[in-house]
Amino acid sequence: MIDEFDVIESRVEFPIATSYNVAPTDETYVVMSRGEEPVRTLAVARWGLVPSWAKDRGIASRLINARSETLAEKPAFRRAYASRRCLIPADGYYEWYVTAESKAGKPVKQPFYLTPRDGETLPMAGLYEWWPDPAKAEDDPDRWLLSCTVITTAAADEIGMIHDRMPLVVQSDDWAAWLDPTVSDAAELLHPAVEIGLTAYPVSTLVNSVRNNGPELIQPLEVDA
């Protein structure tokens, strides 16, 4: 990952355990540019943004995604959008398709796994924030929480049949500008989704519970002919 994203500095003390079912508040890798002379850095953040002004970290579960269309308007995102943009690398992600079936009066949703056909990492656009925990002393090394959110956009045609939204993917040519904290207006980098070579296939509903976490979650579901 360090070579793939041209990372210069790593703040990762211990590798994150492989997860096949990342849930809100779980740890994830982020690539960002930071410092007076910005350096591309790999770090570990919690999924679910906690704005610097938040009273507590409980808000994180409600800010796991940020719509690209309203980044500059929403109080929870606009400051991070101006200077704290990041890439969130992933092998793939899950989406749920609403089927015509119903159970107990509720529509049945079929989970799909979406991953790049070429096996490369999916560079999802994100925002990050540093939040000072008021319960910890100012000199406590664990006082500052690094958190992030995934930016979403209208789905490309190849994905639209499954769900109308998808993660915003940043093309490699745009990484430098997207990560540059001195670029305050990144609107021109919020490209509408285009076909990015994803493969999508149905998987087991085991993924619906965060208690399940293993390679069986991304195995294609056998469908009766």
Higher pLDDT, 160 or 154: 154
pTM score of the predicted model = 0.92
- For 119-134, the pLDDT digits (tens) are 899 999 999 999 998 8
The span from the CA of 135 to the CA of 129, in Å, is: 18
- 122 Cβ partners below 8 Å, 6+ apart? 89, 90, 91, 92, 93, 115, 116, 167, 169
Using pLDDT thresholds of 50, 70 and 90, give the confidence band for residue 224.
low
The span from the CA of 115 to the CA of 3, in Å, is: 20
- For 97-116, the pLDDT digits (tens) are 988 888 887 888 999 999 99
Using pLDDT thresholds of 50, 70 and 90, give the confidence band for residue 1.
confident
Using pLDDT thresholds of 50, 70 and 90, give the confidence band for residue 192.
low
pLDDT of residue 79: 94
pLDDT over threshold 60, residue 225: no
pLDDT over threshold 80, residue 191: no
Q: What is the mean pLDDT of residues 141-163?
A: 88
The span from the CA of 144 to the CA of 134, in Å, is: 9
pLDDT of residue 194: 65
The span from the CA of 188 to the CA of 160, in Å, is: 23
pLDDT of residue 30: 98
The span from the CA of 106 to the CA of 214, in Å, is: 28
Q: Which domains does the chain carry?
A: 9-218 (3.90.1680.10)
- For 15-43, the pLDDT digits (tens) are 999 999 999 999 999 999 987 888 999 99
SS (H, E, C) the chain: CCCCCCCCEECCCCCCCCCCCCCCCCEEEEEEEECCCCEEEEEEEEECCCCCCCCCHHHHHHCCEEEHHHCCCCCCCHHHHHHCEEEEEECCEEEEEEEEEEECCEEEEEEEEEEECCCCCEEEEEEEEEEECCCCCCCCCCCEEEEEEEEEEECCHHHHCCCCEEECECCHHHHHHHHCCCCCCCHHHCCCCCCCCEEEEECCHHHHCCCCCCHHHHCCCCCCC
- For 38-93, the pLDDT digits (tens) are 899 999 999 999 999 999 999 999 999 999 999 999 999 999 999 999 999 999 99
Q: What is the mean pLDDT of residues 196-207?
A: 92
